[in-house]
Structure 1
Amino acid sequence: MMTNTMQSSRTYFLDRIRVLLTALVILHHTAIMYGAEGGWYLRYKASAQASGLLLTLFCSVNQAFFMGMFFLLAGYFSTRSFESKGPRRFFTDRLLRLGVPILVFGFLLGPLSIALAETPTGETVWSFWWYLMGRATFSIGPLWFAYALLIFSVAYLLLRFLSPRKFWHLPEAALSGRGVLLFALVWGFAAFTLRLWVPTGQERGSLQIGYFASYILLFFFGCAASQARLLEKIDRKLALPWGWISLLTIPSLFTYAILSGALKGGAFHVNGGWTMPAFAYAMWEPFVACGIMLMLLWRFRVSTNPWAFWKKLAPLCFAAFIVHTPIVVGLGMMSQSWKDYSLAMFLTVGAASLVLSFGVAALLIKLPGAKKIL
Structure 2
Amino acid sequence: MTDDLARPALAVGPEPATGRPKAAARLLYIDNLRIVLTALVVLHHTAVTYGNIPAWYYTEPAKDGSGLLLDVFVMFNQAFFMGFFFMIAGFFTPASYERKGTRPFLRDRLKRLGIPLLAFLVLIRPLVGLGGFADLRAEFAEQGKDLPYWLYYVLSWDAGPMWFVEVLLVFSLVYALVRHRRARRLAGVGGEAGTAGRAPERAPRPLRPLAIIVFTVGLALATYLWRIVVPNGSYLPVLGLPTPSFMPQYASFFVIGVLAHRRGWPQTLSRGAGRMGSVVATVATLGYLPVVLTAGDGALDGHGSWQSLAGAAWESTFAVGVVLGLTVLFRERFQRQGPFAAFLSRHAFAVYLTHAAVLVGLGYAFRWLHAPAAVKFALVAALALPLCWAVAYAVRSLPRADRVL
SS at match of 1:350: helix
Query: What does residue 106 of structure 2 align with?
Result: 91
Q: Does 1:202 align with 2:218?
A: no
Q: Does 1:148 align with 2:179?
A: no
Tell whether the 8 Å contact from 1:46 to 1:340 is kept in structure 2 after alignment.
no
The code of the aligned residue for 1:292 comes to: V
SS at match of 2:240: coil
Seen in structure 2, the aligned counterparts of structure 1 residues 310 and 82 have a Cα distance that, compared at 3 Å, is same
Alignment of 1:179-190 (within 5 A): 179-190=211-222
Seen in structure 2, the aligned counterparts of structure 1 residues 167 and 216 have a Cα distance that, compared at 3 Å, is farther
CA–CA separation in structure 1 for the residues paired with 2:314 and 2:47:
21
The normalised TM-score by structure 2 is 0.82
Q: Select which of 275, 294, 308 maps to 2:324.
A: 294
Query: What does residue 33 of structure 2 align with?
Result: 17
Q: Deviations over 1:158-200 (max 9, x none)?
A: 1112347798988744512211111111111111111111112
Q: Select which of 51, 67, 83 maps to 1:68.
A: 83
Q: Does 1:175 align with 2:179?
A: no
Higher gyration radius (CA): 2
The code of the aligned residue for 1:158 comes to: L
SS at match of 1:338: coil
Q: Deviations over 1:269-308 (max 9, x none)?
A: 2221110121111111111111111111111111168562
Seen in structure 2, the aligned counterparts of structure 1 residues 53 and 252 have a Cα distance that, compared at 3 Å, is farther
Seen in structure 2, the aligned counterparts of structure 1 residues 107 and 335 have a Cα distance that, compared at 3 Å, is same
More helix by share: 1
The farther-off stretch of 338-347 and 191-200 is 338-347
Alignment of 1:20-31 (within 5 A): 20-31=36-47
The normalised TM-score by structure 1 is 0.88
Q: Deviations over 1:66-114 (max 9, x none)?
A: 0000000001111110011111110000001111111111122112111
SS at match of 2:368: helix
Tell whether the 8 Å contact from 1:243 to 1:292 is kept in structure 2 after alignment.
yes
Seen in structure 2, the aligned counterparts of structure 1 residues 166 and 286 have a Cα distance that, compared at 3 Å, is farther
CA–CA separation in structure 1 for the residues paired with 2:89 and 2:159:
20
Tell whether the 8 Å contact from 2:205 to 2:265 is kept in structure 1 after alignment.
no
CA–CA separation in structure 2 for the residues paired with 1:340 and 1:168:
59
Q: Select which of 106, 111, 115 maps to 2:130.
A: 115
Q: Does 1:333 align with 2:364?
A: yes
SS at match of 1:336: coil
Considering only aligned residues, what root-mean-square deviation do their CA atoms show, in Å?
2.6
Seen in structure 2, the aligned counterparts of structure 1 residues 286 and 297 have a Cα distance that, compared at 3 Å, is same
Q: Deviations over 1:306-347 (max 9, x none)?
A: 562211100111100010001111111111222542101111
Aligned pairs, how many? 360
Tell whether the 8 Å contact from 1:33 to 1:40 is kept in structure 2 after alignment.
yes
Q: Select which of 57, 66, 75 maps to 2:72.
A: 57
Tell whether the 8 Å contact from 2:84 to 2:253 is kept in structure 1 after alignment.
yes
Alignment of 1:303-314 (within 5 A): 303=333, 306=336, 308=338, 309-314=340-345
The code of the aligned residue for 2:221 comes to: F
Seen in structure 2, the aligned counterparts of structure 1 residues 5 and 353 have a Cα distance that, compared at 3 Å, is farther
Seen in structure 2, the aligned counterparts of structure 1 residues 117 and 355 have a Cα distance that, compared at 3 Å, is farther
Query: What does residue 308 of structure 2 align with?
Result: 278
Query: What does residue 266 of structure 2 align with?
Result: 231
Alignment of 1:34-45 (within 5 A): 34-37=50-53, 39-45=55-61
Can you give the 5+ residue segments of structure 2 that lack an aligned partner in the other structure?
A: 1-13, 139-147, 187-196
The code of the aligned residue for 2:265 comes to: L
Identical-pair percentage: 31
Seen in structure 2, the aligned counterparts of structure 1 residues 135 and 246 have a Cα distance that, compared at 3 Å, is closer
